[in-house]
């Protein structure tokens, strides 16, 4: 069974506490995405799982085996890192064959496995080229093929698509997702791109300042963020937060409140009307950004700025008076002091 288990892992560099007690389980064959802003400790955690760093405290298991202090090569996992280093002096074939040759496998087996990995990544025609003769996306696929050729049970990837243009990223995202599922590989994948995380993950672990704040199914993290950080990190544009007194909260939510609340509502859950409708509250259009089928509208309501995605069929101009409604199932309430979700 190829699960990855991280228990109570702590790590400091000098006086900086980078990991503050991380618990994480990647289940057998699961694609788990570690998502968080720059500097929150994602790469450090991945390097600890890989054996490139040791934790100050805590333990790492692969399957049932504790590997906390084993060197990388004794762990039997494969890695693809951000800069997807491929060896410039080796052909694509030899790059992919690298890990297999290290294992001293017979030539016939090496050819078979390189062929399989190259086919999966659709780079079978490039085997005799050198990296300098490849595009960035092709080099990326060579790096992934090299990691897959050894048929790892566990694959660690650190922002493997970060250097690619948007279109290629989109294409490779889907390709990677398909082939990792097909091959049944347990994957821990690091990114700070929340769209990539939503699209690829079986589960997402959201990390902040050395801690995992929420680990759940992508839609669950999106719909029910545990706190305002998670709600504000996922979604493009992110969740709106409105600080409302008891009176305004009661009007907006249709039930009575005795204290201030923080209301979270996603831009797509705000309905915008050109005329007054029952249960709506007034607002004013500040900015309109046409995006094709939708327009992204910045509004002012309750003295605060909000964003709403509105169908392009509704004509809106800056300065215009509008009426807003939030669908009850799209509204989340947070504690104004702690930012934690009210369950």
Binding site for ligand ATP (CB under 6 A): 13, 16, 18, 36, 38-44, 192
Residue 43 Cβ, how far from ligand ATP at the closest point, in Å? 3
The dihedral through the CA atoms of 89, 92, 96, 102 has a sign that is negative
Least distance in Å: CB of 41 to ligand ATP? 4
Query: Which CB sits closer to ligand ATP, 39 or 274?
Result: 39
User: Minimum distance between the CB of residue 46 and ligand ATP, rounded to whole angstroms?
Assistant: 8
Residue closer to ligand ATP by CB (options 209, 220) is 209
Question: What proportions of the chain, in percent to the nearest 5, are helix, strand and coil?
Answer: 30, 35, 35
Could you tell me the smallest distance in angstroms from the CB atom of residue 201 to ligand ATP? Answer: 16
Strand partners, 294: 311
User: Do residues 40 and 210 make contact, with C-beta atoms less than 8 angstroms apart?
Assistant: yes
Q: CB of residue 37 vs ligand ATP: minimum separation in angstroms? A: 7
The least CB distance from residue 162 to ligand ATP, in Å, is 9
Whole-angstrom Cα distance, residue 181 to residue 98? 24
The answer for residues whose C-beta is within 8 angstroms of residue 95's C-beta and 6 or more apart is: 86, 87, 131, 142, 146
Contacts of 163 (CB under 8 A, 6+ apart): 82, 83, 84, 136, 140
Please state whether 288 falls in left (phi above 0), alpha (psi between -120 and 50) or beta: beta
Q: What is the nearest approach in angstroms of ligand ATP to the Cβ of residue 236?
A: 17
CA distance 145 to 122: 10
Which residue number, 131 or 160, has a Cβ lying nearer to ligand ATP? 160
CA distances from 225 to 19, 23, 132, 205 (A): 22, 19, 44, 12
User: Which C-beta is closer to ligand ATP: that of 208 or that of 325?
Assistant: 208
Nearer to ligand ATP, 42 or 146 (CB): 42
Instruction: Find the shortest distance in angstroms from Cβ 238 to ligand ATP.
Output: 18
DSSP E strand stretches across 2-110: 4-13, 16-26, 31-35, 57-62, 65-66, 78-80
CA 134 to chain CA centroid, Å, is 28
The candidate with the shortest Cα–Cα distance to 226, out of 235, 216, 236, 211, is: 216
Residues linked to residue 284 through DSSP beta bridges, in sequence order: 300, 321
């Amino acid at each position: 069974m190829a699960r990855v288990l991280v228990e109570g892992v702590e790590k400091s560099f000098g006086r900086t506490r980078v990991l503050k007690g991380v618990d994480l389980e990647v289940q057998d064959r699961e694609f788990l995405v570690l998502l968080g802003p720059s500097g929150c400790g994602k790469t450090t955690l991945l390097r600890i799982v890989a054996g490139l760093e040791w934790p100050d405290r805590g333990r790492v298991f692969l399957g049932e085996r504790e590997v906390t202090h084993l060197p990388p090569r004794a762990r039997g996992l494969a890695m693809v890192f951000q800069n997807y280093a491929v060896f410039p002096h080796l052909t694509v074939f030899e790059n992919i064959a690298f890990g297999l040759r290290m294992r001293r496998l017979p030539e016939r087996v090496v050819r078979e496995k390189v062929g399989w990995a190259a086919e999966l990544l659709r780079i079978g025609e490039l085997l005799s080229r050198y990296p300098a003769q490849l595009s960035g996306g092709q080099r990326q696929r060579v790096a992934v093929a090299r990691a897959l050729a050894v048929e790892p049970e566990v694959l660690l990837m650190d922002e493997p698509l970060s250097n690619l243009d948007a279109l290629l990223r989109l294409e490779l995202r889907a390709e990677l997702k398909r082939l990792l599922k097909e091959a049944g590989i347990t994957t821990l994948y690091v990114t700070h791109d929340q769209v990539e995380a939503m699209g690829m993950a079986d589960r997402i672990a959201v990390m902040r300042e050395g801690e995992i704040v929420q680990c759940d199914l992508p839609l669950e993290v999106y719909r029910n963020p545990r706190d305002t950080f998670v709600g504000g990190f996922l979604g493009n544009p992110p969740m709106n937060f409105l600080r409302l007194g008891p009176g305004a909260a009661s009007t907006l939510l249709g039930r009575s409140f005795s204290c201030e609340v923080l209301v979270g509502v996603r831009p797509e859950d705000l309905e915008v009307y050109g005329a007054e409708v029952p249960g709506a509250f007034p607002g004013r259009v500040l900015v309109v950004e046409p995006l094709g089928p939708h327009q992204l509208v910045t509004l002012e309501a309750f003295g605060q700025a909000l964003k709403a995605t509105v169908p392009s069929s509704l004509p809106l101009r800056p300065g215009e008076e509008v009426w807003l409604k939030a669908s009850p199932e799209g509204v989340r309430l947070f504690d104004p002091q702690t930012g934690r979700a009210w369950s």
